[in-house]
Each structure stands twice: as C-alpha cells, then as structure tokens.
Structure 1
C-alpha cells in the first residue's frame, strides 16, 4: 500500500455525496489525512443541507465539473468506451470487481482503487484530466478544489513516471 493510500481513500470519501455516513467520518478524516483538512473543516462547519446542495450544484448539474475522468481525458468522442474498458480490465487484473452504480472512471472509485492496490496507473493515465478538473473547481471557487490539489500533489511528474516505466520494462 502506498504511503499516500490514506490520502487517496480520504479524497475518495470527500468526493462522494455528503450523506450522514460522510459526516460521521469527518473527525477521523481530519486526523488521518491532514492534506484534506481545508476541505474537511469546511464540510464540518457547513450545515448538512447546504453542503449537499453545494455538492449537487458542483457535480450533478452539468459536465463542467464531471467526476467521470474519461470525459476530461478523451472528450465527447467514442474513445471513452475504450478508456472504460481499460479501467475495468485493470480492476480485474488486481482481483477487484467494479460493481458500483458508477462507471469505473468515477474519480472516487479510481482513488479507492489506488488506495487499495498502490498502483498509480489510473491516476497517471488521467493526470491531465485531474489537472483540468482541479482548475475548473478552483475557478468555480469551491472547496472541493483543495481535495484535487492534495491528490495532484502526490502524482509523479510525467517525465519521472515515464523513466520509471522504462526501468520496470527493462528489469
């Protein structure tokens, strides 16, 4: 499990609908993942209905802040289907079956996969999508941007990631 596993699991929780179970986890999340404190503190101080309405306004109204990464990665072409298939195959290769109501490119699912497996493959593949989503959330002025800031800060630079892949292939 990577050293950032708790962060990834915490970020996955922060990016899901803020129901009662989410609110109950806030104190633990605050202590376990200090990188998420800005968002966690905001969530703890915001009345539940207001936080839920904000989540819907940010993520459910349109695709401007979509948590489905293939939409950011490949746009509105037919290629997202291939990206979804690759994601599904990667889950299966790690003996994880994606059975959620969401698609396998749903950012909280990708973060949970990364937390469980320690594999940065999907986050690395969607690096550009994560940065674009982060910028959109920051422009919108939502505290959810700080969650993406924390996740993006953990990703290796593309050049380093490419060298690591080459070294692994040569081994």
Structure 2
C-alpha cells in the first residue's frame, strides 16, 4: 500500500523527532550508539531533512565523551539562554509554569504512558521522543504549541554558533511555519529572558535543570 502524502510527511516527521531526541540527549557513554542510530534513521529521510541532523551527529562523533558532556552542560544546563525546558521560555519563574508543565503530563497519560523517568515533562528531548514513538498527533500539537520556544532555542544556539543549532532547524522544519510575530517574540525572549515573578514560587522554582541521570541509548524514557 502506498503512503499518502500526509502519511509520508508524518512518517518523516517522526523520524526527524526521534533523531533530534537522540542528538539532544545528554552525551553519556551511550553517545556513539545513539549517533549510529541517528545515521540509520537519517537514511530514511530526504537529503534536505537528513543534512542538519547528520551535521550535528558528525560534529558530536568527533568529540571525546568528556568534552561532549562538558559542552552539553555548558550549553543547556548552566545558562537559561538555551535551556531545553519549553515552559521555562513561556512562563519562566512564575506560578503559571506549574499548570503549563501539567499539560505535558496529562498528554502523556492520555496516550497511555506515564510521566518521563528522571526528567521533567517539558524537556524537549522527552517531548520529541513522545511525538516520535508514542503519539505523533498529540506530540505534534505539543511541539506546535511551543514552537516559539523552539525558535528561541534555535536562535540562541545560532548566536553561539553551537553544533546543536542544526538540530533545532530540523525540528522547526516539521512545525507550522513561523510568522514574523513568532520570530520577533523569539528574538525578544532570547535577548530579555523569560518572565519572572518575585513572589508565589513555592510550587515550581526550577530554572536551569541540574545535570540529569545518564540517558540510555534510545534517549529519554517514557514509562
């Protein structure tokens, strides 16, 4: 049976999301195994979709585990400017972030899986793996709803000439096209930072995630 155009596009997006999730996972001892899997996944994509993912995979493959881990922490964990926590971009250190994170957990449970193990539910690699392997419709909706945050991360990584920037470009290509308003919002957020609130932070005070437990070879886990 031949794929319809829509089915083919969805299948390609799922491959992109899975590859991107693997590339954005913490580069532990399983890094090379994940990079091999990225290469295999990209073989099923058109060249223009595979190219940015393969670029990052090649750049990471040339690093030692120690250097790759340190650069990852420096890029995503020690600074707010490129954090992979999606709700942090929209809600920052405010009370609203709790409700925003709950929306991710509810989406996972509605699809028959539990919250992510060892990671917060709005962590971009987790959302990507959910969209790729569990529920592409609900996952795509989560990604699209937070496309401004994804664009902001991409802009921050481009500014830093990060080896991870092409991955965000590949993800962005699977989402609804960004409007000028979206891009302007993303740029302002990168320059000014996320919202803050001086009181009422008892429920959620997480800003930049701590160094997480090493990821398994398949990337972030959903139970």
TM-score by length of 1: 0.87
**What CA distance in whole angstroms lies between the structure 2 residues aligned with 1:26 and 1:48?**
12
Q: CA deviation at 1:47?
A: 2.1
2:145 to 81, 106, 125: 125
Once the two structures are superposed, what CA deviation does each residue of 1:102-140 show, in whole Å capped at 9, x if it has no partner?
A: 111000110011112112111011100000011001111
Q: CA deviation at 1:75?
A: 2.6
Partner of 2:34: 25
The size of the alignment, in residue pairs, is 159
Q: CA deviation at 1:15?
A: 0.7
Q: CA RMSD in A?
A: 1.6
**What CA distance in whole angstroms lies between the structure 1 residues aligned with 2:178 and 2:81?**
25
SS at match of 1:20: coil
2:109 to 92, 95, 116: 92
Q: CA deviation at 1:12?
A: 0.7
2:163 to 143, 146, 157: 143
SS at match of 2:30: helix
Partner of 1:162: none
**What CA distance in whole angstroms lies between the structure 1 residues aligned with 2:99 and 2:114?**
18
Any stretches of 5+ residues in structure 1 without a counterpart? 160-171
